[in-house]
Amino acid sequence: MSGTNGGSTNSIDQLLGHTEGPVGTPSEAAIKRLRYSKQIVDINFTRLSSLCEDIATDGFVYYDPATQSDTEGLRENIYADIHNYLSSVYSLVEELHQFLNSCADETIDKDTFIRGSDRADPSLPPFVKKLVFAWGLRNQFTHGNYRCLSISEETGSESSYM
C-alpha cells in the first residue's frame, strides 16, 4: 500500500510531506513519556469499551433494570469515560508534538494537522482526519457541556440499554 508522498506508508512522512526520515533521536525520557501517554489512552479505552458488549459495532451500554436502578449514575459514568478517553487522546497528541519536534527538522503544531478549512484534504493520512474529529469532540465535551452527545434509554423486549 503506497502513501501520498513518494510511496511512503508512514503516517508521519505523509503528514510532514517528505520521506527523508528523522534528523534527530528523541531522548529516553521523551520516549518514556510517550509510552506512558499511550498507556493512559489504552487504559481509558479499555474502561470505556468495558461498558459495552461490542463498542465497535453498536456502542450500546446494556443494563438490567432490576439490578441497575441508578440510570442517572450510569449515564454520568458514560459521559465521564468518554471524556477521559478523548482527553487522553488529546494528551497523547500533545506529547507526540513534542516527540516529533525532537526528531524533525521543522516545528510540528496544530497547523501541521489542520491545513486550511478543507478538513477532507485527501493528502492527509487517515489518522489525522480521525484526530481532528476526536479533538472536536473533546472540545465539545470540555467546553460545550456535552451538547454534541445525548444518551437515551431504550427498553426493548429482551434488554434495556443506553
Rounded CA-CA distance 100/109 in Å is 10
Rounded CA-CA distance 158/28 in Å is 53
Looking only at the bridges linking them, the beta strands covering 160-161 and 154-155 are antiparallel
pLDDT in tens, 57-114: 887 888 777 777 788 888 888 888 888 888 898 888 888 877 777 777 766 666 666 6
The pLDDT, as a whole number, for residue 8 is: 64
pLDDT in tens, 13-40: 777 776 666 777 788 988 899 899 999 9
Q: Which amino acid is at 127?
A: F
Has residue 7 got a pLDDT over 50?
Answer: yes
In contact, 155 and 162? CB cutoff 8 Å: no
The pLDDT, as a whole number, for residue 115 is: 57
Going from N- to C-terminal start, the domains of the chain cover 32-161
Rounded CA-CA distance 143/133 in Å is 15
The pLDDT, as a whole number, for residue 37 is: 93
The pLDDT, as a whole number, for residue 3 is: 42
Share in percent of the chain as helix, strand, coil (round to 5): 50, 5, 45
Rounded CA-CA distance 68/162 in Å is 12
Rounded to the nearest 10 degrees, how much is the dihedral formed by the CA atoms of 154, 159, 160, 161?
-80
The pLDDT, as a whole number, for residue 114 is: 65
The pLDDT-based confidence of 4 (bands split at 50, 70, 90) is: very low
What kind and span of H or E run contains 36?
helix 28-50
pLDDT in tens, 111-162: 666 655 444 555 666 667 677 777 777 777 776 666 667 777 878 767 887 7
Residues 36-46: what's their mean pLDDT? 94
Sheet containing strand 160-161, edge to edge, reads 62-63, 160-161, 154-155
Measured in whole angstroms, the distance separating CA 130 from the mean position of its chain's CA atoms is 7
**pTM for the predicted model, two decimal places:** 0.71
- Number of residues written out for the chain: 162
